[in-house]
Chains A and B, each alone.
Chain A
Amino acid sequence: ETGVTQTPRHLVMGMTNKKSLKCEQHLGHNAMYWYKQSAKKPLELMFVYNFKEQTENNSVPSRFSPECPNSSHLFLHLHTLQPEDSALYLCASSQKSQGNLQETQYFGPGTRLLVL
């Protein structure tokens, strides 16, 4: 596998379910990101991880819980979601250097989530 992979590609869940989204990057990068893309809003950054440490939580509700066990894997644990959480969830990775703005983020194919 190359680049950034995400599983599952599609997910339907009820509001009382608990599920997890998985992201894996094969680029040797040290930073990973979760983005949300919904029909009504532009792409929104949710979380940033650097070397397994969460460095940013962009005011995301606690029903979304990220986990980064190592620099190659990133999870997004979901519980008691609402229908408005239905969206495309995109994972990205980049090579973070100190004070470097030019890093390019590479994205996975996304998980299309539908909450019923």
Chain B
Amino acid sequence: AQKVTQAQTEISVVEKEDVTLDCVYETRDTTYYLFWYKQPPSGELVFLIRRNSFDEQNEISGRYSWNFQKSTSSFNFTITASQVVDSAVYFCALSAPFSGGYNKLIFGAGTRLAVHP
């Protein structure tokens, strides 16, 4: 069965600190996709990144970077020089085959990040 674990329930940092959000997944599929979403207090889930299981290159987008390691089934997310606007709940998700030819997003429990000035 597929599963996503985000062991960190809450993280609190001071502005400009670097912070890493952990994500560990379980799947028996050889082809799958991993996602990160951000949920600010407004409630909307904002798509951040998608990574397929065949591409283990790390990715950087501004202050955001992602480290995908298949050997440890992890897809960690680092925010460099955090800012107050980064305060949100961050979800890691796994896409896997589902009925009817659809994929299903399996979400972790989320990590609440609080960045203090």
Contacts and interface: CB of A to CB of B under 8 A. Distances in A.
Given A42-B110, A88-B43, A109-B43, A101 B95 contact: yes
Interface residues of B, number: 29
Interface in B41-83: 42-47, 50, 52
B31 interface: yes
Interface residues of A, number: 26
B43 A42 contact: no
B33 A101 contact: yes
Interface in A36-72: 42-43, 45, 48, 50, 55-56
A108 B101 contact: no
B17 to A, nearest CB: 27
Contact of A105 (B99, B101, B105): B105
A48 B105 contact: no
Given A56-B98, A88-B43, A107-B37, A42 B103 contact: no
B101 A98 contact: yes
Nearest to A96: B102
Contact of B43 (A55, A100, A105, A110): A110
A105 B100 CA distance: 17
Nearest to A111: B43
Contacts of B35: 104
Interface string A88-107: 10101000101111111111
A112 interface: yes
Interface of B: 31-33, 35, 37, 42-47, 50, 52, 91, 95-105, 107-110
Interface of A: 31, 42-43, 45, 48, 50, 55-56, 88, 90, 92, 96, 98-110, 112
